[in-house]
Amino acid sequence: MAHYPNSFFNYSCLAHPYKNQMVPSRSMNSHKNLEDIKELLYLMNLKAQPSRRAGLYQLKPSKELQELLDKYDEMGFNPPITNDSVEADDYLFQGDILLNKKQAQLLARVPVTDQLEDKENKRVTRQTTTFQELWNKRKPILYDVESMSQSVSVLIRRVIAFWMKNSCVRFRETDSTASLIRFVPQSGCWSYVGHQTSWKQQEISIGENCDSFGTVSHEIAHALGFLHTQSREDRDDFVMINFLNIDPERLGNFMKDSDLWETFRLTPYDYGSVMQYDPYAFAINRRIPTVFAKDWRFQATMGQRAAPSFSDIKAMNLLYKCDEKCKKKVNCTNGGYRNPKKCKVCICPPQFKGSTCSNLNKGQLPICNSKHLKANESWTSFTGCFGSSETMTSFMDCNYLIEAEPGMRIQLKLKFLSSPYCYTSCPYQAVEVYEKNFDVAGMRLCCRVRELTFTSESELFSIRGLSRYGNVSFHVWYTQIGK
């Protein structure tokens, strides 16, 4: 491990008030190990600094970035609802990941951008062992919540029950002397990535302002082997990173490389993943995003922390090979995947149902005029209405499907959308539009918009209404067109 003078590190040798928070009592980690990891994280950020000279950190935005900034202003989002607590950031990778030393050493050799790639280092990286170790799915993961409050303990059990219901990963609650995962109320929300096989026990911190279903799901997903979505090697095809607005000391948090991270090869890029960064992550100005969707219509889809998305659940099943005991192949349509517990049927995206995911799932909202509409060459109008007069803790949905003749596509014009809650990530209500890929989140819209035009890739077009409170209506015109 290299050592550097204090002037080079500027604060690494100073007592850090939050270091003890990262190494709770009886932790297998150590303060010395934590300081070594901090140095490696610092090296990653130093490696990122030349990205300014590579043109990614300019004095003014590129033409493409300026267009996205202008479109963001036009969308008229209210300021984000954020938690600015970053006390433990010096020891964390990407804001909520506590690395082990081996992982930090691997990442310190990985470049942030393709322009800065070192081919020799890239080769070394590919020859290394897997970045994260998976758990043995045939044995329950022992965990304890002895350090947590009663309300947070109940929440953790709910999230664990969710992952057990929706995957083949098993958990069992025990006491802190026998547990493999210990939940602790430390500073912030953080977790290790994957099973720390050289330790008897590892922690997940559910600190202040972390007690939501989506956030706890996110941290447990890290412990099971998931990384952040925007770290995918193909992320530049889907998002643009606004380096102009990123704290220079946090540039290393935007590195990308899928050679180390196997989860990224399992499903398409999902803006709506519970693992996708908040659009304002590590921002200098918290009113301007650091992550822009290249297709601006997906901007409000990013950063949701309501619950794992369908593709998150699908990826977990694929990562742990949950269906490996199923012998016969089943033809799952519309992005569904084989049910590992009932091998002859499929698990479907939320807007579909049936043994092969070929039927419309109407949804659960009490106010819902769900329809399966047929398109022809004439323009036809439809008004959708959905919602609830009561406040709900999680989203409920109402689904609409428009179908063209085989070999044709749907063209749709959204003329009107009523939604008074125009916030990034649309946390209260939204219309979600799907032109393709029903197994990843659609374009989430919750602000009053001018006319928008959409075109499907196939003969199916889906609209999903989401609400936790209040009623929403939208008005569309649709027709079928040739391919």
How is residue 267 written in tokens?
A: 């499903």
Is pLDDT at 13 greater than 60 in this prediction?
no
CA distance 224 to 95: 18
Q: What is the pLDDT of residues 428-450, one digit of tens each?
A: 899 999 999 999 999 999 987 77
Residue 310 backbone class (left: φ over 0; alpha: ψ -120 to 50; beta: rest): alpha
Instruction: Write the CB contacts of 147 (distance below 8 Å, at least 6 apart in sequence).
Output: 24, 176, 182, 183, 184, 185
SS (H, E, C) 351-396: CEECCCCCEECCECCCEECCEEEECCCCCEEEEEEEEECCCCCCCE
pLDDT given at position 142: 98
SS3 label, residue 136: coil
Query: For the chain, which domains are there?
Result: 12-322 (3.40.390.10), 323-359 (2.10.25), 362-482 (2.60.120.290)
DSSP class of residue 129 equals P
Distance between the two ends of the chain, CA-based, in angstroms?
Answer: 59
CB-based contact 224:163 (threshold 8 Å): yes
CA 252-281-226 angle, 5° bins? 70
The secondary element (H helix, E strand) that includes residue 48 is helix 31-48
Instruction: Write the CB contacts of 448 (distance below 8 Å, at least 6 apart in sequence).
Output: 76, 417, 418, 419, 422
Exactly one of 203, 219, 432, 435 is catalytic; name it: 219
Pairing of strands 408-418, 171-173: unpaired
CA distance 353 to 365: 16
CB-based contact 245:285 (threshold 8 Å): yes
Q: Which residue has the higher pLDDT, 289 or 249?
A: 289
* Percentage above 70 pLDDT, the chain: 80
CB-based contact 152:211 (threshold 8 Å): yes
pLDDT given at position 329: 87
How is residue 82 written in tokens?
A: 């954020």
CA distance 427 to 183: 27
Identify the residue whose tokens are 């609830």.
Answer: 388
pLDDT, mean of residues 372-390: 96
The secondary element (H helix, E strand) that includes residue 318 is helix 310-319
pLDDT given at position 2: 39
Sheet holding 171-173, edge to edge: 171-173, 141-144, 181-184, 202-206, 189-191
Q: What is the pLDDT of residues 318-362, one digit of tens each?
A: 999 999 999 888 999 999 999 999 999 999 999 999 999 999 999
pLDDT given at position 392: 85
Is pLDDT at 29 greater than 80 in this prediction?
no
CB-based contact 387:470 (threshold 8 Å): yes
Q: What is the pLDDT of residues 103-116, one digit of tens each?
A: 888 877 744 444 33
SS3 label, residue 116: helix
How is residue 304 written in tokens?
A: 């949701």
How is residue 412 written in tokens?
A: 């749709």
Q: What is the pLDDT of residues 144-199, one digit of tens each?
A: 999 999 999 999 999 999 999 999 999 999 998 899 999 999 988 999 999 999 89
How is residue 64 written in tokens?
A: 């493409």
| DSSP letter for each residue of 249-302 | GGGGGG---SSS-GGGGSS---TT-TTSPPTTTTBSSTTS-SEEESSGGGGGGT
- Residue among 222, 264, 268 at smallest CA distance from 103: 222
CB-based contact 470:428 (threshold 8 Å): yes
Q: pLDDT band at 259, cuts 50/70/90?
A: low
pLDDT given at position 450: 78
CB-based contact 204:184 (threshold 8 Å): yes
How is residue 482 written in tokens?
A: 């040739």
Q: What is the pLDDT of residues 357-377, one digit of tens each?
A: 999 999 999 999 999 999 999
The secondary element (H helix, E strand) that includes residue 473 is strand 470-482
CB-based contact 264:232 (threshold 8 Å): yes
CA distance 419 to 430: 7
Let me know if 74 is a catalytic residue: no
Q: What is the pLDDT of residues 81-105, one digit of tens each?
A: 444 444 557 788 888 999 988 888 8
Q: pLDDT band at 119, cuts 50/70/90?
A: very low
